[in-house]
Structure formats: C-alpha cells, structure tokens
C-alpha cells in the first residue's frame, strides 16, 4: 500500500505538492502535476480515507436509520437515498433499528464517534429529548416523520391532506358510509390522516361511524378479519380505506369468497402502492407515496446541513401523496387511465 510519501519520493517532490494535485488545488505547475500523476499511476496510489477523515474531520458517510429494511416502503426509500447519496459522493451506512430504543441509540452514537457526518432517521423510537441531545455532534434529518417539538429539518407527507383526498375521492364516487382502518401506530401523522379523512366527511354533513373505525389492521390476515367483522354488521359500509395494500388484499380475498362485487358492494382503497395492488382483482386504488421526492429532498437538506454546520434549524419540507385510481373504487368501464 503506497502512501503520499512514496508518490512524492518517486516524483521527486514534496508531500504537499502531491496533496495539492490530489485535491485540485491551484498553484501547481502543469509540469509537476504531470509528474505526480505519473508517479501515482505507477504506484497504483489511492489515498487512505481514514487519514483523510482524521485530518478533515469528515468522513463522507451518512447513516440511515430504518426500522426494517425488507419492508417494501423502506426498501424503496433506501433505494433512492442510496442513489442520491452516491450522486453527491457520499456513502450510506445502514442501521436497522428493529423498532428498538437501544439499537437506535447505538446507531446515533455513530455521530458521536464521528464515524458519520450526519444521520437520516426514517423513524424514531426514543423520546425526542434523547435524540435531540445528539445534535451537538452533527446534523440529524427526519425523512418520513414529523415531530412537533423537533428543531431540525423534517421531510414528511402531509397526512391530513392524504386522509382528506381519500375521503373526497370516495365521496365523489357517491359513498356515504365509509370504514377506516388504522394500523395501530400512534403518531402525529396517523392522527392527522384520520383527522383529514373526517373533515372531508363533515364538510358534507357526514361522519365516520365509530363501529366502522378499525383500530389496528396491518396484515393480510387483519384484512380478512376486518371483512369478517363487516359481514356481521347491520349497517355495512360501501367503501373502506384499508391503511395498507396488504389489508386491502385480505379484505378483497374474503369479499370475493363471500361473492361481493367490488367495487359495487364495497369500494376499497389501499395504501403504499405495493406490487400486489396492481396484481389483485380488482386492481386496487391506492395511495402513492412521494418516496423519490422525499428521499431526494432529505439528501439535499442533509448535504446542506453538513456543510453549513447549523444543525438546529427547523425546516418543514412537506410532500403530498397521490391516489392511483384503479378498479377497486371505479368500475372498469369508467376508468379512463389506470396506472
């Protein structure tokens, strides 16, 4: 492994000059530059990054905290984050928190030990005050979360508008009796989503019936359960927001078994635009999340924070979901553009 010193010797110059060539500094004559480059070539020289990190006090690495990589949404997010980081010349260290407070803290320590220049959190487990204390060591950017009392850049989806949009769509399709599935997670986003949903209803004098609110559904099995419950009801909903494409799949599966027509007897709206949404029959109208936009913004903001060094700046970067209209809410013959 050759060092800058070796290159300097071979080129008959000083380490400084070599370093200057390496960093594209001005004030190096073309002649010497050539000499240095030849020497580098000949030795197969590559700068040692630990030495650079130590000297420059920055690593070129960003940590991404994620609860579970193999979750469809998070793997998409990570995918884009990696591309954007790569574009900016950064490496990404992946940190799976597995929804554990301790793991989350362990990974935040990467900031303390200066192993990374910044941390992007796509979820969080600890109290905000705990996380806040790490800000003295470097920038933290929230991507896909919103916290009222955090004074840092936050990139997130306006869930109130998401909820509103869903309800509005169903209202336009003529539904008046709707059901709503939550996923059991209690967060500001989830609260905002249902609030938005309800406000669209109340605008037209409707409301969400208590029995039609399912508190905790996140899996295919949960979806089947939800339908079983619906089947037993006196007054049945004509439309349901499922909170997840998996739940939608469960509901659809049972509904078909029970010979319900979809969307005739029940219109279904999913969430996440997972692969299955397009594969089911009927194809599922679902909420499409602005994954790419959020990841891009998060990385841009992180880059800026790393360089301007003012970590505690409150920035709200809000993005909107879209609705992919498909057969589960609109009869095929009325569907102009499916996507």
Partner DNA sequence: ATGAAAGCGCTAACAA
Partner DNA sequence: TTGTTAGCGCTTTCAT
The interface partner of residue 313, options being its own copies, DNA, none and the CB cut-off 5 to 8 Å by kind, is none
Whichever of 57 and 129 has its CB closer to DNA, that residue is 57
The interface partner of residue 177, options being its own copies, DNA, none and the CB cut-off 5 to 8 Å by kind, is none
- State the minimum distance, in angstroms, from the CB of residue 56 to its own copies: 9
Q: Give the number of other Cβ atoms within 10 Å of residue 97's Cβ.
A: 23
Tell me which H or E stretch contains 131. helix 128-132
Distance between CA 125 and CA 143 in Å, rounded?
14
Residue 61 makes CB contacts below 8 A (sequence gap 6+) with: 90, 91, 92, 93, 115, 116, 117
* SS3 labels along 136-170: HCCCEEEECCCCCCCCCEEEEECHHHHHHHHHHHH
Whether the CA torsion 308, 312, 314, 316 is positive or negative: it is positive
DSSP secondary structure letters along 177-233: SEEEE-BS--SHHHHHHHHHHHHHHHHTT----GGGEESB--SHHHHHHHHHHHHH-
Whichever of 26 and 205 has its CB closer to DNA, that residue is 26
- State the minimum distance, in angstroms, from the CB of residue 257 to its own copies: 9
The interface partner of residue 16, options being DNA, its own copies, none and the CB cut-off 5 to 8 Å by kind, is DNA
- State the minimum distance, in angstroms, from the CB of residue 266 to its own copies: 17
Whichever of 56 and 136 has its CB closer to DNA, that residue is 56
Distance between CA 90 and CA 113 in Å, rounded?
18
Whichever of 125 and 196 has its CB closer to its own copies, that residue is 125
Residues in contact with DNA by the rule CB under 7 A: 1, 3-5, 13-17, 19-20, 22-23, 26-29, 31-32, 47-48, 51-52, 54-57
- State the minimum distance, in angstroms, from the CB of residue 234 to its own copies: 29
Whichever of 46 and 336 has its CB closer to its own copies, that residue is 46
Residues in contact with its own copies by the rule CB under 8 A: 1, 46-51, 53-54, 59, 61, 68-70, 72, 75-76, 78-79, 82-83, 86, 91-96, 98, 103, 109-110, 112-115, 137, 220, 246, 249, 253, 256, 274-276, 278-281
């Amino acid at each position: 492994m050759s060092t800058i010193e070796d290159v300097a010797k071979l080129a008959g110059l000083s380490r400084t000059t070599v370093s200057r060539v390496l960093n594209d500094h001005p004030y190096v004559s073309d002649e010497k530059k050539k000499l240095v480059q030849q020497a580098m070539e000949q030795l197969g020289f590559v700068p040692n990054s630990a030495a650079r990190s130590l000297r420059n006090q920055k690593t070129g690495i960003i940590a991404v905290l994620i609860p579970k990589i193999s979750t469809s949404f998070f793997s998409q997010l990570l995918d884009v984050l990696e591309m954007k980081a790569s574009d900016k010349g950064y490496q990404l260290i992946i940190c799976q928190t597995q929804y554990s407070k301790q793991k989350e803290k362990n990974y935040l320590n990467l900031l303390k030990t200066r192993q990374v220049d910044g941390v992007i959190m796509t979820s969080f487990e600890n109290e905000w005050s705990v996380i806040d204390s790490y800000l003295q060591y470097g920038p933290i950017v929230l991507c896909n979360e919103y916290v009222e009392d955090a004074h840092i850049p936050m990139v997130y989806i306006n869930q109130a508008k998401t909820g509103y949009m869903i309800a509005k769509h169903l209202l336009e399709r003529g539904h008046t009796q709707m059901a709503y599935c939550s996923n059991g997670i209690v967060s500001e986003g989830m609260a905002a989503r249902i609030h938005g949903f309800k406000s669209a209803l109340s605008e037209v004098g409707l409301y969400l019936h208590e029995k039609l609110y399912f508190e905790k559904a996140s899996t295919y099995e949960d979806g089947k359960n939800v339908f079983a419950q619906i089947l037993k009801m006196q007054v049945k909903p004509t439309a349901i927001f499922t909170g997840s494409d998996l739940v939608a799949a469960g509901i659809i599966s049972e509904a078909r078994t029970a010979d319900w027509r979809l969307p005739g007897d029940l219109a279904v709206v999913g969430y996440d635009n997972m692969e299955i949404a397009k594969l089911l029959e009927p194809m599922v109208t679902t909420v499409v999340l602005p994954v790419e936009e959020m990841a891009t913004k998060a990385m841009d903001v992180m880059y800026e924070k790393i360089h301007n060094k003012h970590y505690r700046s409150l920035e709200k970067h809000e993005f909107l979901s879209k609705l992919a209209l498909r057969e589960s809410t609109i009869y095929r013959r009325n569907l102009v553009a499916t996507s």
